[in-house]
Structure 1
Amino acid sequence: MTTARFLQEQPLFGGVDDQAMAAIMPLMRELTFAAGDVIVSEGEEGDSLFVICSGSVEVLKADPEQDAQVAQRIAVLHVGDVFGEMELLDTQHRSATVRALEPVAALGLSNGDLFRIYESDLPTFALIVMNLARELSRRLRSIDDLAVHYMSAPRRSNIQ
């Protein structure tokens, strides 16, 4: 079983005190996946985020201009990383597929459970949401860097 201390060492729960973690731990669902299992699928409805406790996953994104069955790997996530957080915040469909690269243990937190934290401990809720915002900001900065690299790469012209 994953400990509260482990979660407090991860970005999502950084700064959350022991008392708040004691209330949060019962809300977390322990999940396991075998290598190759699809954990979430792009386009499906989702209401949970996941914290990886062991193993690693790949994040796959379909190209809207290609066959929907063809997806590109856009990230590999490891212990302590979070996925599924976007659906908790914007309540839209899953933006990517996440597949286990090896056996994975994860903890899930649903939108409803996040709301329970809001109702019972507003300061802890605010801290978790700020931690989510920081994580999304880090990811956006990485995407910005990739976009600049892509845009500055030399292009081959088809004009002869």
Structure 2
Amino acid sequence: MKTGIFLQEQPLFGGVDDHAMSAIIPLLRELEFAAGEAIVREGEDGDSLFVICRGSVEVLKASPAANGMVATRIAVLNVGDVFGEMELIDMQRRSATVRALEAVSVLALSNGDLFRIYESDMPTFTLIVLNLARELSRRLRSIDDLAVRWMPSGADADSSALASNH
């Protein structure tokens, strides 16, 4: 099991003090996955987020053009990265499959345990949620950059014309 110091160095728990960390650690479940094993599957219900403690994973998104039969790698995540957080925020099904690229160890925090933090320590809960929001914002900025890079060159002119017509 990783220590509170390790967790406090990760974006999700950045700024969480030692006292709060000692209350959070017992809520975390340590899980192990073998190389090639799916940790979460796109479309399934999810109630936990995961912090990678050892190993790396790939994030796969089903292709609508292939009726979901072909998955495209959209990211590789490493030690300290978090996944599964979207389901805790928007209460939707898993948006992608996450598969271990090698032996992986994660710490899982369930929605119920996040609610326990909310009930017992509002400032720490707020800090964790702000950290999640920062992570999602970073990812959105990255996706925006990719979208612009791959957008046809005439598309921005078309959208400008649309904006000026409204």
For residues 29-44 of structure 1, the aligned pairs below 5 Å read 29-44=29-44
Structure 2: runs of 5 or more not aligned? 155-166
Of 65-74 and 13-22, more deviation after overlay is shown by: 65-74
Q: Deviations over 1:62-95 (max 9, x none)?
A: 1122131200000000000000000000110000
Instruction: Name the SS for the 1:2 alignment partner.
Output: coil
Q: In the aligned structure 2, how far is the partner of 1:30 from the partner of 1:121?
A: 23
Identity among equivalent pairs (%): 77
| Equivalent residue letter for 2:71 | A
| Equivalent residue letter for 1:146 | L
Q: In the aligned structure 2, how far is the partner of 1:20 from the partner of 1:83?
A: 22
Once the two structures are TM-superposed, the CA of residue 153 in structure 1 deviates from its matched residue by: 6.3
Structure with bigger helix share is 2
Q: Quote the residue 1:62 is aligned against.
A: 62
Q: Deviations over 1:99-147 (max 9, x none)?
A: 0000000000000000000000000000000000000000000000000
Task: Name the TM-score, length of structure 2 as normaliser.
Answer: 0.91
Q: Which runs of 4+ in 1 moved over 3 A?
A: none
Q: Quote the residue 1:129 is aligned against.
A: 129
Q: Quote the residue 1:145 is aligned against.
A: 145
| Equivalent residue letter for 2:25 | M
For residues 1-160 of structure 1, the aligned pairs below 5 Å read 1-152=1-152
Aligned residue pairs: how many? 154
Q: In the aligned structure 2, how far is the partner of 1:12 from the partner of 1:55?
A: 18
Q: In the aligned structure 2, how far is the partner of 1:152 from the partner of 1:49?
A: 35
Instruction: Name the SS for the 2:123 alignment partner.
Output: helix
Instruction: Name the SS for the 1:105 alignment partner.
Output: strand
Q: In the aligned structure 2, how far is the partner of 1:54 from the partner of 1:17?
A: 23
Q: Is the 8 A contact 2:63 2:69 kept in 1?
A: no
Q: In the aligned structure 1, how far is the partner of 2:110 from the partner of 2:64?
A: 28
- CA RMSD after TM alignment: 1.0
Instruction: Name the SS for the 1:36 alignment partner.
Output: coil
Q: Quote the residue 2:163 is aligned against.
A: none
| Equivalent residue letter for 1:132 | L
Q: In the aligned structure 1, how far is the partner of 2:45 from the partner of 2:133?
A: 21
Of 66-75 and 34-43, more deviation after overlay is shown by: 66-75
| Equivalent residue letter for 1:117 | I
Instruction: Name the SS for the 2:45 alignment partner.
Output: coil
